[in-house]
Structure 1
Amino acid sequence: MAEETGGVRLTVLDDGAAPAVSVVPVAELAARVRELDAASRPRWVWADTATTYGRLLRAGARVERCFDLRLCRKILRRAVGAPPPSDLWDDVEEREDRHDAPPTLFESLTLPAEEVLAERLRQREAVAASREPGRLAALLAAESAGALLAAEMRHDGLPWDRTVHDQLLTEVLGARPPLGARPPVLEALAEDVRGALDAPRLNPDSGQALLRALHSAGISVQTTRKWELEQVDHPVVAPLLEYKKLARLHSANGWAWADEWVRPGPAGAGRERFHPDYVPGGVVTGRWATRGGGALQLPKQVRGAVVADPGWTLVVADVAQLEPRVLAAMARDEAMARAAHGQDLYQGLVDQGVIDTRAHAKVAMLGALYGATSGAAGDLAPRLLRAFPRATSVVEGAAMRGEVGGTVRTWLGRTSPPPPPAWTAVQDKQHERDATDDDRRRARRLARDWGRFTRNFVVQGTAAEWALCWLADLRARLRALGGDGGAGHSPHLVFFLHDEVIVHTPVALAEDVAAAVRESAAGAGRLLFGEFPVDFPLDVSVVDTYADAE
């Protein structure tokens, strides 16, 4: 699918048949897409889902499957080297790599229909020539499915009650202040901070000014971060930490945020909608990000504002200890899988006698995933090494590859980026004849840091792949339950946060949706890891408001 003068050019490819080309007027596109999608379940191919599918959704058309060339090319560039060069695409990628590409990049980029088709063929050839084409093809399909879902969740929105939101904010911040002013509770805390530091003109929102005031009061801290302030014994600490917490709520999810991101819902919905802008694959590991609205950081203080429409309910589900379970499956470590089977993994480690307490088990496992070498995590690490040598060897091997500048892959083949040139320059410097001890220490430190990145990349990236497969399968099951009637009539996903989802559903279908959520999680595990005996248990709640979810 590609735009051209006179409408949108649709090229239908069917194995064994010549391409069928038609130009559909823009006004007729949505109807034609609905017709084709229902008749033959095609996989739509386009340059960018966020731009193309968003327009289709606004016109009332939804599709079952797609192939997002931009997202897939980004994966292929690292996995197998860039597909054969194309000036149009390479210009886009250079701008993305500089991190200055605008969010609406493809709205200003015209791709001829021939180029869309040519790029699809280039990508197919690149996958076919890869080391594991089956896994890589699965990753590209999952990434594209995630792009569809991200566009749908942005379009449909999360049910939001502005009245409840205002009440929640007022309870903790005081009445809504005039534009540019602080709420009463924040202003009172600011006065407490000024008084404790004897700094009557201090603006606590200014990090530099706050740090100077702390130093003037004899408080030797390097930053104003919570973990460092908590080590300080001074009257300013309690009001300052409370101020920072509430100031974050006010700026990230306060009244001004709601004015920008919450809009009226569809006719008859009964609630307004929060419309986040998800970015699939926005993090290098494949995790999602957002361009605005902070959907990936909805704090507990405002979750009570997420309220189902009348006659509808919310099915909230999250998977327990996703990354350690993924690690057990990647390593084919049956001992670790048994510790997790049907129960809390950390308690399973205690029951098997690997670790003495659940708290220590969590510290040890997170230390293994993130490369902690000191403190309690470092002390407990040898126990995991002895109990689960296969699992620990996966992350240790990934860390060693990173320390020497190598790249690593997730289960389906997403490849980590190489170290930046500055990292390589530091490593080269330590081998020069005039290298100092400081040069060598810096090189070792940076090598360990990059090793921690690659250590976590393989697990976090594979967990993101599991989540994409979960989402794609669940989306298909929800369509089967409610038909393609759109968000106003059918169960539909409205929220996603790494290992948690929310489905907005008619009350009559709530139990069917809960079952679909569980079945999709099990299906994602089988799709990725076959019959390996690892499970992905979910906590599932059927609630009227997100705040009531367990």
Structure 2
Amino acid sequence: MPTETQPSPPHWCVLGRTPDGVFAAAHVSASGEPGAPVSIEEGTLAAFVAQHEADHSPRWVWWSTAQVYPELLAAGVRVARCHDLMLSHQILRNSEHVRGRQPLIAAAHWAEPAALADTHEVPASLPEPALFDLDRAPAARDHRDTLAEALAEFGRQRAAVDSSSAAGRLSLLLAAESAGALIAAELSAAGLPWDTAEHNRILIETLGPRPASAAEKPARMLAMAAQVREALGDPLASLDSPPKLLRALRAAGIAVESTSQWELYEHEHPAIAPLLAYKKLSRLLTANGWAWLDEWVRDGRYRPVYVPGGVVTGRWASNGGGALQLPRLLRRALRADPGWVLVSADVSQLEPRVLAAMSGDRAMAAAGRGSDLYAGLVAGGVVDTREEAKFAMLGAMYGATSGDSGRLVPQLRRGFPAAMRLVDDAAAAGERGGTVTTWLGRSSPPPDAEWNNVQAAASLPGASRRDEDAARRSARERGRFTRNFVVQGTAAEWALAWLAEIRGKLTDFAPVPAAREAPASGTVFARVPHLAFFLHDEVIVHSPAEHADAVALVVEEAAATAGRRLFGGAPVDFRLELSVGERAEKP
């Protein structure tokens, strides 16, 4: 278990603007006293930060890493540490560990999102509500960027952590969240090496030749559409409008309630197979087709825009480029530069392993020690097959009550009572309208007004059976959310600690000679191993070939270190599947 004592205060340097818009900085002592502001001449911010980084290696405090750091990276300046006030504010104002949250809640302007990139995109299917409203137009001026505001908010946050019931855990969470913000900016700056020719080849092989205009559909989609219409007996059936498609399906005698692929799979009809194929091709064309390639890949690099903390559990979202939905089909387009390799690492069963560590369930920890955890469940006699193990674990973490997952969950309760008690208690808290908190201190949002109204309606005199059913249904849904929140949120914390450890260790590598640099990665990263991609439980490092083995060891050791930082001596292996090569095949 992590220590609950506050670490020694680092050297803080708070950055912000004066009222007339010029940057200024102020050092903050260990006792929290700010020094006199130092003005930074127009156009010299990067030079100022570079000099202070070299002389003092401070922890930079600024209102938003996403707003400050890209400019520094573009100027060739990298910092080791920061404290992101906006991300930290969101955690602290909601954390149940913070006893005196009122000053943070009163500073309501800090709870609003920073201005985001012009292209607004979030994953099409999030596991829980998005933290930020990414569709809102950015404000003309963010007044949180002033030095006075930054100093005031930093003081509130330090006081909140110091008076909390888990200062050590919260300090680790804020450091990890802020490190993640630096990494997100660096991932976009360095980019992911991308083989445009291979991507184009995959599209042609899958979809057919590129149409002359964006309004036209590729040949294979047209062929699939023709098969669907023929099978439906409707030559004018619209396949791209769900309401119209639904009507066409029903007219053909296919009794469906929606056009989702999961429901379509349950029906046997000659139109179903070509329709599913058409939908798959349509997703590829829309999400990662030629238009995507033209927009997001430049000079051999794919540069998505990440949003750290963009989901309430702490998982990242994407605000452009769809990095969190990269299909397996396109993995071969990830290609290292000549003389470089991609070191890819995928954590095996991250969330079940996190659950074992959180709950202290030694039987579950033993099932995954040194091996595939699902195989360990089979070997331990908990379930009969690896597929059943996977279904059972998903059911445990997502609250399944029916189907194969629901049927197998009782077997997990018998085999792993501590782990199941943790998620069952989290679900019960959610059903009562309570909140739950991750291992390091991120708390779930309270129920919204609609949820409370549904529950209240069922308690009124004269409440109908329908009211009671609606209340039970909404309670169960919230219970499933809180059940998963504690596990997914803690897994996100582990992943951030893993990323931060990798990032720190990669700075120890000596740069390769200029003749073997990867110029498309930019000034900061062209000659050194660097993180190039992150997806929840997977990282990719772009590395000079001569450093590949050492980088792979760094990635592996960082996983063990992240486990120790969060869970101390918990006997849980965070097992990686590693691959090293020119292309990033899914490990």
In the superposition, the TM-score normalised over structure 1's length comes to: 0.95
Match of 2:571 in 1: 533
2:129 is aligned with 1:129: no
Match of 2:258 in 1: 223
In the aligned structure 2, how far is the partner of 1:535 from the partner of 1:106?
48
In the aligned structure 1, how far is the partner of 2:245 from the partner of 2:365?
49
CA displacement at 1:523 relative to structure 2: 0.2
Match of 1:32 in 2: 48
**Alpha-carbon spacing, 1:20–1:235, altered in 2? closer, same or farther (3 Å):** same
Match of 1:396 in 2: 424
How big is each residue's C-alpha offset from its partner over 1:205-229, in whole Å with a ceiling of 9 and x where there is no partner? 1111111110111111011111111
Q: State which drifts further: 345-354 or 16-25.
A: 16-25
Match of 1:415 among 439, 443, 454: 443
Match of 1:510 among 548, 551, 554: 548
Alignment of 1:108-187 (within 5 A): 108-109=142-143, 111-177=145-211, 178-187=213-222
How big is each residue's C-alpha offset from its partner over 1:243-277, in whole Å with a ceiling of 9 and x where there is no partner? 0001100010010001111112xxxxxxx111101
Q: Answer yes or no: is the 8 Å Cα contact 1:88–1:111 preserved in 2.
A: no
CA displacement at 1:97 relative to structure 2: 7.1
**Alpha-carbon spacing, 1:482–1:464, altered in 2? closer, same or farther (3 Å):** farther
CA displacement at 1:51 relative to structure 2: 0.8
In the aligned structure 2, how far is the partner of 1:106 from the partner of 1:317?
41
Q: Answer yes or no: is the 8 Å Cα contact 1:73–1:83 preserved in 2.
A: no
In the aligned structure 2, how far is the partner of 1:98 from the partner of 1:274?
24
Q: Secondary structure at the match of 1:546?
A: coil
Match of 1:213 among 228, 240, 248: 248
Q: Answer yes or no: is the 8 Å Cα contact 1:51–1:107 preserved in 2.
A: no
Q: Percent of pairs identical after alignment?
A: 52
Q: State which drifts further: 4-13 or 14-23.
A: 14-23
**Alpha-carbon spacing, 1:103–1:35, altered in 2? closer, same or farther (3 Å):** farther
Alignment of 1:236-251 (within 5 A): 236-251=271-286
Match of 2:10 in 1: none
CA displacement at 1:27 relative to structure 2: 2.0
CA displacement at 1:104 relative to structure 2: 4.7
Match of 1:457 in 2: 485
Match of 2:535 among 483, 497, 500: 497
Q: Answer yes or no: is the 8 Å Cα contact 1:13–1:19 preserved in 2.
A: yes
Q: Answer yes or no: is the 8 Å Cα contact 1:150–1:278 preserved in 2.
A: yes
Q: Secondary structure at the match of 1:281?
A: coil
Alignment of 1:70-89 (within 5 A): 70-79=86-95, 80=98, 81=101, 83-84=103-104, 85-86=106-107, 88-89=109-110
Match of 1:67 in 2: 83
Q: Secondary structure at the match of 2:463?
A: coil
Which letter does structure 2 place at the counterpart of 1:127?
V
Which letter does structure 2 place at the counterpart of 1:83?
P
In the aligned structure 2, how far is the partner of 1:6 from the partner of 1:430?
54
CA displacement at 1:194 relative to structure 2: 1.5
Q: Secondary structure at the match of 2:580?
A: strand
Q: Answer yes or no: is the 8 Å Cα contact 1:319–1:536 preserved in 2.
A: yes
Q: Secondary structure at the match of 1:413?
A: coil
Q: Answer yes or no: is the 8 Å Cα contact 1:51–1:104 preserved in 2.
A: no
Q: Answer yes or no: is the 8 Å Cα contact 2:134–2:319 preserved in 1.
A: no
In the aligned structure 2, how far is the partner of 1:211 from the partner of 1:358?
37
2:445 is aligned with 1:431: no
Match of 1:50 in 2: 66
**Alpha-carbon spacing, 1:91–1:332, altered in 2? closer, same or farther (3 Å):** closer
Alignment of 1:344-423 (within 5 A): 344-423=372-451
Which letter does structure 2 place at the counterpart of 1:522?
A
In the aligned structure 2, how far is the partner of 1:97 from the partner of 1:18?
32
Q: Answer yes or no: is the 8 Å Cα contact 1:76–1:83 preserved in 2.
A: no
Q: Secondary structure at the match of 1:409?
A: coil
RMSD after superposition: 2.0
Which letter does structure 2 place at the counterpart of 1:414?
R
**Alpha-carbon spacing, 1:90–1:256, altered in 2? closer, same or farther (3 Å):** closer
In the aligned structure 1, how far is the partner of 2:102 from the partner of 2:510?
40
**Alpha-carbon spacing, 1:18–1:53, altered in 2? closer, same or farther (3 Å):** closer
**Alpha-carbon spacing, 1:196–1:107, altered in 2? closer, same or farther (3 Å):** farther
Q: Secondary structure at the match of 1:199?
A: coil
Q: State which drifts further: 182-191 or 397-406.
A: 182-191
In the aligned structure 1, how far is the partner of 2:282 from the partner of 2:252?
23
Q: Answer yes or no: is the 8 Å Cα contact 2:76–2:523 preserved in 1.
A: no
Q: Answer yes or no: is the 8 Å Cα contact 2:391–2:404 preserved in 1.
A: yes
In the aligned structure 2, how far is the partner of 1:390 from the partner of 1:340?
16
In the aligned structure 1, how far is the partner of 2:138 from the partner of 2:531?
24
Match of 1:189 in 2: 224
**Structure (1/2) with the larger helix percentage:** 1
**Alpha-carbon spacing, 1:360–1:37, altered in 2? closer, same or farther (3 Å):** same
Match of 2:524 among 486, 490, 498: 486
Structure 1 unaligned regions, length at least 5:
265-271
Q: State which drifts further: 175-184 or 407-416.
A: 175-184
Match of 1:524 in 2: 562
Which letter does structure 1 place at the counterpart of 2:173?
L
2:328 is aligned with 1:293: no
CA displacement at 1:317 relative to structure 2: 0.2
Alignment of 1:256-335 (within 5 A): 256-264=291-299, 272-335=300-363
Q: Answer yes or no: is the 8 Å Cα contact 1:371–1:452 preserved in 2.
A: yes
In the aligned structure 2, how far is the partner of 1:520 from the partner of 1:180?
48
Alignment of 1:100-115 (within 5 A): 102=136, 104-105=138-139, 108-109=142-143, 111-115=145-149
Q: Secondary structure at the match of 1:313?
A: strand
Q: Answer yes or no: is the 8 Å Cα contact 1:278–1:288 preserved in 2.
A: yes
In the aligned structure 2, how far is the partner of 1:207 from the partner of 1:102?
26
CA displacement at 1:3 relative to structure 2: 2.4
CA displacement at 1:103 relative to structure 2: 7.0
Q: Secondary structure at the match of 2:158?
A: helix
Number of aligned pairs? 542
How big is each residue's C-alpha offset from its partner over 1:60-107, in whole Å with a ceiling of 9 and x where there is no partner? 1110000111111111111133534236435669x9978266475586
Match of 1:267 in 2: none
Which letter does structure 2 place at the counterpart of 1:464?
A
In the aligned structure 2, how far is the partner of 1:321 from the partner of 1:98?
28
How big is each residue's C-alpha offset from its partner over 1:491-531, in whole Å with a ceiling of 9 and x where there is no partner? 11111010000000100100110000001000000000001
